[in-house]
């Protein structure tokens, strides 16, 4: 009779362990949603990086001109149901001609919707690109659903 009680307690403990582990794991729908957001971030960033007009807007924003044009382009390209943060870092030892004092990995420009949104989105895409003067920059787009 003692072994039946031990077997029952073991089954309860094992069931509790499986319950805790399964409750802690994200659901398959959540994982698929994260993959979709990440794919959208990469698709959007690659499409924008290949657009000369967008790269001109990035360069103007990096050189201290207003980033309003860059924000308008990003608002038009990224669907309204996403919160985003777009940041450009210097990815070269040679800074752009307009920012001579910048060091490697310096944040050159950052645009977010809503204003002040952080960089920790669900989907994060990172792409390297060249400005018109040959300076290499790293563009990072973080997307999340509010």
Give mean pLDDT in consecutive 10-residue pieces for the chain, a chain of 146 residues.
Answer: 81 81 69 81 92 90 81 89 90 77 81 73 86 89 86
Label each residue of 97-121 as H, E or C: CCCCCCCCCCEEEEEEECCCCCCCC
Give the pLDDT confidence score for residue 14 in this predicted structure.
83
Residue 127: the pLDDT is 93
Q: Is the pTM of this model over 0.85?
A: no
Nearest-5° angle of CA 36, CA 46, CA 94? 130
Distance in angstroms (rounded) separating the CA atoms of residues 70 and 61: 7
> In this structure, what token pair is assigned to residue 114?
């809503």
Is the CB of residue 125 less than 8 Å from the CB of residue 92? no
pLDDT at 141: 92
Beta bridge partners of 122: none
At 24, give phi and psi (nearest 5°).
-80, -25
Phi, psi of 86 (to 5 degrees): -110, 120
As beta bridge partners, residue 144 has: 83
pLDDT of residue 145: 81
């Amino acid at each position: 009779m003692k072994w039946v009680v031990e077997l029952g307690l073991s089954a309860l403990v094992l069931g509790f362990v499986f319950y805790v582990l399964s409750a802690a794991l994200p659901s398959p729908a959540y994982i698929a949603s994260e993959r979709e957001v990440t794919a959208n971030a990469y698709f959007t960033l690659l499409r924008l990086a290949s657009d000369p007009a967008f790269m001109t807007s990035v360069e103007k924003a990096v050189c201290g001109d207003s980033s309003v044009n860059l924000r308008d382009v990003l608002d038009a390209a990224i669907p309204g149901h996403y919160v985003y943060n777009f940041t450009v870092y210097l990815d070269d030892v040679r800074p752009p001609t307009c920012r001579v004092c910048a060091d490697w990995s310096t944040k050159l420009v950052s645009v977010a919707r809503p204003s002040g949104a952080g960089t920790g989105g669900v989907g994060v895409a990172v792409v390297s690109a060249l400005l018109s003067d040959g300076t290499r920059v790293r563009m990072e787009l973080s997307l999340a659903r509010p």
